[in-house]
Amino acid sequence: MFAEERRKKILKLLENEKRASVNELSKNFDVSRATIRRDLSELEKNGFLRRTHGGAILSGSSKLEPSFKEKTDKLAAEKRKIGKKAAEIIKDGDTVFIDAGTTTRYIIDFLKDKSDLTIVTHALHIINKVNDNNLDCELVVVGGNFKWSTEAMIGPMAEDYLKKLRVDKSFIGSNGFNLDSGATTPDLREAKIKEIALEIAGENFLLFDQSKWEEIYFYRFAELNQIDFIVTDKIEASNKKSLNEDKIEVILAWINNGGEQMILTVTLNPALDKIIILDNLKLGRLNRVQDTTVLAGGKGINVSEVLTKLKIENKALGIVGGNNGRNITSMLENKGVRADFIWSDFETRQNLKIKEKNTNRETEINEGGKVSKENINDFKTAYEKAVKKNKTLVLSGSLPAGVEKNIYAELIQKAKAEDAKVILDSSGEEFKLALKKAPYLVKPNLEEIENLLGRKINSSDDLKKGAKYLLDQGVSIVMISLGENGAFIASETEGYRIYTPKVKVSQTTVGAGDTMVAGLAAEIDKDESLKDTGVFAAALATAFVECGSISKIDDQLIERISSIIRVEKIY
């Protein structure tokens, strides 16, 4: 048995028994009393226990360090989100120190799109992560004495080497954090590494999950004035205020507590979308497919994917089931989309979309979908809980069999009772019933507004009249999407015709409307002006059509398209 492992077992024994003698420990671990005395001296030096005559007692101020496995399993989803958020901070060309830890290690999973990185680390699990992700980076490994329980190099050799380096950013894990005690850890040797990593960095980022708040360990490695940023998943409003006063910026990995909010999307009828591409669809004959793509589908899910790409905190709510449901959940997780689904015994539907390259014609064949009354009741319970904390919601898409047509109306009513703004993107009877509850924004397309009014829309004046009809129902904002011809956005006091540039359809226009809704939700959540909201949403939808994929949208593309959008004020 290694000394590190034996000493940890001694501490566990003391935690249970409160005290132990040298003789007892010698017999228990089958080692000499001299060995036990050395163990106790080392543990006392590190603050874990207090020596007594012939034995030891556990120090009242010490905490045991959980094993690497125990820490890995605890709050794994939260730690992954923290790692992802930290990775977003790293820029091309950065030199960064990444500390050992079960939170910091997740940073590596989200660095694949970065270039010219230099990563400095003393942790074996970080090195393995770099290798597993096949990162194209310069890797600087700090050598020293290996600590098995945390898989990290420590000791004088590691300290001396690290002191010679300089990095742009240090990402440091912490076992505990308290406003008075600062950042703490149970091991002096690891504390020294953290201290040096903070000293050699231009900016310091402290990473820890919600369970570390108010935890205090024996060794403080950082006071508040040594920390520039804290990346965490949850914080009390009072703590955030205190940290801001100390000029520490708090970066939340996902925003859902402590008074902070996220955008919620609702997809009651999700689908596994299979897109096939061929030259021409020949009815009644053999067709050979050129390319196939399978995606997680459903209008609300699409909105969540876009918001996630835009780095806007959101959560997808809905109902899924069967293998298709599991595939959807896995796809979203891989894209970093946070979801909270109710599981159904019914298989989630699958849709087929056929794209013809020669004509740009698109054919959709959609299944209906089905859920149970119990699924809906469970969903309503989850929805009511979520809407109490989050004030911008997107209700969109068709309804599966088993759901009453007034479901959107009911959800809008519950949201408005919590002062939440609801964006509605639906059609048919469920849209008409929901309209009676006056959602904050509706986004019909040209065909839907014409069907609603029972007449054709041929001019900006017709668009104004169509918007007025909806505004008269109590809606605050109307956004009418006009396909390649742009959009019209209006409120009671102002209205704008938005002319988007003509772009070549890269792959499909299916999903452009959902991308537009994501843009609307993002701007409304930030209380942007009506004009800016319309322009951003229209630019985002156009960018999707041009590049053919949510994953290819970036700030430069959105800015380029926004700069050539023409806006006409109608009233």
Q: Are 240 and 332 found together in one domain?
A: no
The CATH number of whichever domain residue 49 belongs to comes to 1.10.10.10
Q: Which long-range contacts (CB under 8 A, 24 or more apart) does 244-250 make?
A: 248/224
Query: Does residue 413 form part of some domain?
Result: yes
Q: Are 231 and 272 found together in one domain?
A: no
* Helix ranges (DSSP H) in 46-89: 68-73, 76-89
CA distance 405 to 359: 36
Judge whether residue 65 has pLDDT over 80.
no
CA distance 27 to 33: 9
Which domain range does residue 369 map to? 261-421
The pTM of the full predicted model, rounded to 2 decimals, is 0.56
Note the pLDDT of residue 255: 44
CA distance 8 to 14: 10
Nearest one of 536, 296, 263, 539 to 394, comparing CA atoms: 263
Beta bridge partners of 363: 354
Residue 275 sits at φ, ψ, to 5 deg, of: -110, 125
Judge whether residue 505 has pLDDT over 70.
yes
Query: Does residue 189 form part of some domain?
Result: yes
Q: Are 403 and 532 found together in one domain?
A: no
Note the pLDDT of residue 66: 55
Judge whether residue 498 has pLDDT over 60.
yes
Nearest one of 440, 487, 439 to 466, comparing CA atoms: 487
Note the pLDDT of residue 254: 56
CA distance 121 to 158: 10
Which of 102-111, 195-204, 235-244, 459-468 has the lowest average pLDDT?
235-244
Neighbouring C-beta atoms of residue 208, cutoff 10 Å: 25
Note the pLDDT of residue 70: 52
- What percentage of the chain has pLDDT greater than the value 70? 94
Structural domain tally of the chain?
A: 4
Q: What is the DSSP string of 466-498?
A: HHHHHHTTT-SEEEEE-GGG-EEEE-SS-EEEE
Note the pLDDT of residue 216: 81
CA 311 to chain centre: 8
pLDDT class of 14 with cuts at 50, 70, 90 = confident
Q: Are 106 and 193 found together in one domain?
A: yes
CA 102 to chain centre: 18
**Residue 562, Ramachandran bin (φ over 0: left; ψ between -120 and 50: alpha; else beta):** alpha
- DSSP-derived 3-state class of residue 300: helix
Checking DSSP bridges between strand 49-52 and strand 19-21, what pairing results, if any? unpaired
Q: Are 21 and 118 found together in one domain?
A: no
Neighbouring C-beta atoms of residue 280, cutoff 10 Å: 10
Note the pLDDT of residue 499: 96
Query: Does residue 430 form part of some domain?
Result: no
Q: Could you write out the three-class secondary structure of 227-263?
A: CCEEEECCCCHHHHHHHHHCCCEEEECCCCCCCCCCE
Q: Are 367 and 401 found together in one domain?
A: yes
Per residue in 144-164, pLDDT (tens digit) is 999 988 899 999 999 999 999
Neighbouring C-beta atoms of residue 526, cutoff 10 Å: 12
C-alpha pair distances (Å), 247 with each of 22, 210, 228, 253, 298: 49, 21, 7, 19, 42
Checking DSSP bridges between strand 55-58 and strand 49-52, what pairing results, if any? antiparallel
pLDDT class of 61 with cuts at 50, 70, 90 = very low
Note the pLDDT of residue 555: 80
C-alpha pair distances (Å), 331 with each of 203, 296, 539: 34, 7, 26
Beta bridge partners of 343: 320
Judge whether residue 7 has pLDDT over 60.
yes
Note the pLDDT of residue 479: 96
Judge whether residue 221 has pLDDT over 80.
yes
CA contacts within 13 A on the Cβ side of 497? 12
Q: Which of 223, 252, 281 is the last residue of a domain?
A: 252
Residue 165 sits at φ, ψ, to 5 deg, of: -100, 165
- Consecutive H or E run containing 318: strand 314-321
What's the rounded mean pLDDT across residues 399-403?
93
Q: Tell the residue number behind the tokens 């009651």, with chain if given.
A: 268
Nearest one of 39, 42, 37 to 54, comparing CA atoms: 37
Note the pLDDT of residue 536: 94
Query: Does residue 160 form part of some domain?
Result: yes
Judge whether residue 198 has pLDDT over 50.
yes
CA distance 281 to 69: 54
Judge whether residue 197 has pLDDT over 90.
yes
- DSSP-derived 3-state class of residue 10: helix
Per residue in 517-545, pLDDT (tens digit) is 999 999 998 888 899 999 999 999 999 98
Query: Does residue 63 form part of some domain?
Result: no
Per residue in 15-44, pLDDT (tens digit) is 777 788 888 898 888 888 888 888 888 887
* Helix ranges (DSSP H) in 100-199: 124-132, 156-163, 188-199
C-alpha pair distances (Å), 394 with each of 55, 427, 475, 477: 64, 14, 14, 14
Per residue in 253-293, pLDDT (tens digit) is 754 444 446 899 999 999 999 989 999 999 999 999 999 98
Note the pLDDT of residue 159: 95
Judge whether residue 111 has pLDDT over 50.
yes
The CATH number of whichever domain residue 371 belongs to comes to 3.40.1190.20
Query: Does residue 460 form part of some domain?
Result: yes
Q: Are 329 and 403 found together in one domain?
A: yes
Longest pairwise C-alpha distance within the chain:
95
Query: Does residue 129 form part of some domain?
Result: yes
The CATH number of whichever domain residue 74 belongs to comes to 3.40.50.1360
Note the pLDDT of residue 547: 84
Judge whether residue 12 has pLDDT over 90.
no
Q: Are 377 and 449 found together in one domain?
A: no
Q: Are 447 and 328 found together in one domain?
A: no
Beta bridge partners of 267: 318
Beta bridge partners of 339: 316
pLDDT class of 434 with cuts at 50, 70, 90 = very high
CA distance 193 to 458: 70
Note the pLDDT of residue 144: 94
- Across the beta sheet with 219-222, what order do the strands follow? 176-178, 182-185, 219-222
What's the rounded mean pLDDT across residues 407-434?
94
CA distance 289 to 281: 10
Cβ contact 487:479 at 8 Å: yes
Is 116 annotated as catalytic?
no
Note the pLDDT of residue 154: 94
pLDDT class of 67 with cuts at 50, 70, 90 = low
Q: Are 266 and 244 found together in one domain?
A: no
Q: Which of 36, 58, 80 is the last residue of a domain?
A: 58
Note the pLDDT of residue 256: 42
Nearest one of 497, 448, 498, 489 to 471, comparing CA atoms: 489
Which one is catalytic: 168, 514, 525, 555? 514
Q: Are 103 and 51 found together in one domain?
A: no
Judge whether residue 507 has pLDDT over 90.
no
Write out the two tokens for 176: 């505990």
- Consecutive H or E run containing 277: strand 271-278
Q: Are 101 and 192 found together in one domain?
A: yes
Query: Does residue 301 form part of some domain?
Result: yes
Q: Which of 391, 421, 451 is the last residue of a domain?
A: 421
